Amino acid sequence: MPMFKTPFNGYSVQFSPFYEHRLAVATSQNFVIIGNGRIHVIDFTNPSSTMTEISSFETSDGVYDLTWSEENDNLLVAAIADGSVKLYDLGLPPNSK
């Protein structure tokens, strides 16, 4: 069975509505009491091998929840522990995320 281990605690997992082998995972340090968060975008095209991280986004606060856009296959929206809602675009170059 494929597996992906995150360094933080997982809070939400959402499958992409566009790609059946892609999912996003919302994670946070220290059970969102204090610390950073990270969003992992994972591909598991080959179910007999490990899952592959294709992108990630760092946050200065934990990530509670996330969802994919139903209109654009590159967009994710996340609920952050500081009360903000942030939009992430997988289509942007890594330095501009």
Give the model confidence (pLDDT) of 34-89 as tens digits: 789 999 999 988 777 778 999 999 999 999 999 999 999 999 999 999 999 999 99
> CA 76: distance to chain centroid?
8
* pLDDT at position 97: 57
Residues 62/28, Cβ–Cβ less than 8 Å: yes
Least confident of 29-33, 40-44, 92-96: 92-96
* Predicted local confidence at residue 35, as pLDDT: 86
What is the band of 30 on the pLDDT scale with cuts at 50, 70, 90? confident
Residue 78's pLDDT is 98
